[in-house]
Amino acid sequence: MRVAGVTSVENRGIPIEKQHHLWIGYLVFGLLSIVVYYALPIFVGTVPLRVVVYCAVSTSAALAVWWGVRRNKPDPRAPWTVLGVGQLIAALADTTFYASHYVLNETNYPSLADVFYLGHYPLVVVGLLMLIRQRRAARDLPSLLDAASLTVVAGLLSWVFVIGPQTRLGTPMLVEMTSLAYPSMDLVLLLVSLRLLFGGGRRDVSFMLLTFWLAATLAADTVYVLQRLSVSYAAGNFLDAVWLTGNLALGACALHPSMGRIAQAVDVPALRLSWPRLGFLSAGALIGPVMLVVQHAHGVRRDVPVIAAGCAVLFALTATRLAGLIVDQRSLAITDSLTGLRSRRYFEARLADEVARARRAGRPLGVVILDVDRFKSINDRFGHPAGDRVLVEVANRLRAVAGPDRVLARYGGEEFALIATGVDAENLHRLAERLRHGVAHHPIAVSGRRSMTVTLSAGTAAFAPHYGTASALVSAADRALYLAKDLGRDRAVAGGTSLTEHREDVAVDYLNQVADLVDLRVASPGRSLAIAEWARTVAEHLKRDPGEIRTAHRAGRLLDVGMIVLPDDLLTESGPLTDQQWHLLQEHPDSGARMVRVLPDHGEVAEVIRQHHERWDGAGYPAGLTRENIRIEARILSVCDAWAAMRADRPHRRALTHEQAVRELRSGRGARFDPALVDAFLTLLDKRAVGDLTAGPGSPVSRESSRLS
């Protein structure tokens, strides 16, 4: 049974601890066998014991691959099956070679062993390509280009020092073809090995062992060809140790528990173009010119066409690589790194172009802005990594609904924006609803097995003559989004399309800005945003009807707009207030109510603002109302407003501590505050659902923080 990519072997009779040590035991025993190989004489009696040890170690790697496939159950098994068969053929080649050399005293070259040796290369290459294909989560052209560049460099060196000299020896055709086949196959193997190394995917212990096997094979093969070329090769020299150690690394790789994960496509990026890698590639590109200079210094004019062709290929590969870097940099500049959507900068530039085009052609154009509801609570409950996962999944679902032809961008922290060309106002609203339902139709995994339904609020705006610029169109959609939040979230609201509605929106925006300005004057930026959110949370906790919840929230946002008429010295006074100052201060609820009442459908909101300084015991102002004669929304705001005042620094006093503020609320139960509402607020305070004066990132009067999340 495999769980989350990890293979369970306990039901096979091998404890996990033993399997972790199996590959180490195999590696240690194999290395000791290599020592014994060099210590033994070739024959012990009539038994070529040295040959037996060598072939046993070589064959053990193929058996280890079979055992690893059986126990670790890699998915898929095909790459490892091919690699195992390739190693088995290599072991057969070793047996044939050493038996012919030591037992039969046949040293002909090429021989049957060379057929087996050369035959195992294609299997290794195919097996590695299958692994690369499985590990690749996406196309990775840069890694392929880098691997090809270094292979071309190796090919130039091979031609100058190995292949070229071999073609000039005048050896028989079969000998020459065999000698050329080895470096040629090694170049193919090098290309595939570099592609595997530079590509993405996991890099566990098994991957490192696999890389060591390939490196040992390529190094030993290169030295072998050079020794053959110089007629200095002798069976049983140090190359046997390199080949055998590489075979042991392959066997240990297959036995390691992480072997089953090598072929898994995971979100592990490919090796980036670091300075060492860039320097290595640059040095490789200079190999051709350096060899030409060296040949010129020695008065040699050999291999010039081959070197020139190699340099041309390197130039083409380098140019392609640089072009890819430019494309990648441009993509990074216009792409959000977390979600893969377009960036806000790209969205704004593209929208300006679309607005100009819509004005010229008279075709429909719309904007949809969507915001994740209560995203802050996701971060608070599950952590920011979980919040990032939610944003990525929301982006994927929005992209699936929007389609590939529309511009979809991450506009802010948890905010997304869409440009809908050719869509009128009616269909724009339907599109917004489809986007919302596309996200909310199925829960999103946030942490482990925990999942939750994530909803969006959306605001739309269709292009109209009075939206003369792209920013005006966005502002209209933005106001509609704010209204969707104000109406209880999880809904889409269409922006106004008439001049009358536009003026009403401007009035709402103006009062919001007044509220933010008052917050700044009393040195409590974001205060009205926080109070509005707390009021809504308390009202929802008390299961009040939706109308009361909306009224409490809206009144909280505009609670102290009446203070804008008060002089600055009154708001920053550090000593006792005079009778005249106290009279002015008591007038701000009436002033605020008059300012808000001019807005359509804001009569109840204005009345709540007028009553928010009334007290439960009747000692408040401006009307001296008592108990249930005070609207429930005003009683809620009284508690929230008091908490915000106590927990914020003021010019004349420092903020109370959390414990001190709690004691003050409790001491006001039944006198200043409705006792039931104090209890409800403290309950929510313990749950951290209220009480945070941070309204959002950035300046509280900025666009991002002037909307309740």
Q: Which carries the bigger pLDDT value, residue 359 or residue 525?
A: 359
Please tell me the predicted confidence (pLDDT) of residue 158. 87
pLDDT over threshold 80, residue 638: yes
Question: With pLDDT > 90 as the criterion, what percentage of the chain qualifies?
Answer: 27
DSSP-derived 3-state class of residue 335? strand
Question: In the chain, what is the greatest distance between 2 CA atoms, to the nearest angstrom?
Answer: 121
pLDDT over threshold 80, residue 265: no
- Structure-block tokens of residue 603: 């009569």
Task: Using pLDDT thresholds of 50, 70 and 90, give the confidence band for residue 650.
Answer: low
Residue 158, CA atoms < 13 Å, CB-side half-sphere: 26
Amino acid at 2: R
Task: Using pLDDT thresholds of 50, 70 and 90, give the confidence band for residue 701.
Answer: very low
Question: pLDDT tens digits, residue range 416-427?
Answer: 999 999 988 889
pLDDT over threshold 90, residue 653: no
Question: With pLDDT > 70 as the criterion, what percentage of the chain qualifies?
Answer: 85
Residue 435, CA atoms < 13 Å, CB-side half-sphere: 33
Please tell me the predicted confidence (pLDDT) of residue 520. 73
Amino acid at 136: R
Cβ(171)–Cβ(157) under 8 Å?
no
Please tell me the predicted confidence (pLDDT) of residue 708. 32
Question: What stretches of 45-162 show up as alpha helix (H) in DSSP?
Answer: 49-72, 78-98, 112-135, 141-158
Q: Which carries the bigger pLDDT value, residue 666 or residue 167?
A: 666
Question: pLDDT tens digits, residue range 482-510?
Answer: 778 877 788 888 875 433 444 555 667 67
Task: Using pLDDT thresholds of 50, 70 and 90, give the confidence band for residue 702.
Answer: very low
Question: Average pLDDT over the chain, rounded to whole?
Answer: 82
Please tell me the predicted confidence (pLDDT) of residue 9. 38
pLDDT over threshold 80, residue 664: yes
Amino acid at 462: A
Cβ(535)–Cβ(556) under 8 Å?
yes
How buried is 460 (Cβ within 10 angstroms: 0-12 exposed, 13-18 middle, 19+ buried)?
buried
Please tell me the predicted confidence (pLDDT) of residue 700. 33
Cβ(368)–Cβ(432) under 8 Å?
yes
Q: Which carries the bigger pLDDT value, residue 218 or residue 588?
A: 218
Question: pLDDT tens digits, residue range 521-534?
Answer: 766 777 888 888 88
Q: Are strands 450-452 and 444-447 parallel, antiparallel or unpaired?
A: antiparallel
Please tell me the predicted confidence (pLDDT) of residue 395. 95
Alpha-carbon distances of 144 from 15, 158, 187, rounded to whole Å: 40, 20, 14
The answer for 45, left when phi > 0, alpha when psi is -120 to 50, beta otherwise, is left
Cβ(478)–Cβ(371) under 8 Å?
no
Q: For residues 7 and 259, what is the distance between their CA atoms, to the nearest angstrom?
A: 10
Q: Which of 667, 694, 692, 689 is nearest to 678 (CA)?
A: 667
Q: Which carries the bigger pLDDT value, residue 601 or residue 215?
A: 215
In order of their start, the domains of the chain are 14-137+199-271 (no CATH), 344-497 (3.30.70.270), 518-686 (1.10.3210.10)
Question: pLDDT tens digits, residue range 206-262?
Answer: 999 999 999 999 999 888 888 877 888 887 889 999 999 999 999 999 999 989 888
Q: For residues 336 and 391, what is the distance between their CA atoms, to the nearest angstrom?
A: 11
* HEC per residue, 146-208: HHHHHHHHHHHHHHHHHHHHHHCCCCCHHHHHHHHHHHHHHHHHHHHHHHHHHCCCCCCHHHH
Q: For residues 665 and 672, what is the distance between their CA atoms, to the nearest angstrom?
A: 9
Question: pLDDT tens digits, residue range 387-418?
Answer: 999 999 999 999 999 988 899 999 988 999 99
- Structure-block tokens of residue 577: 């207030």
Please tell me the predicted confidence (pLDDT) of residue 65. 95
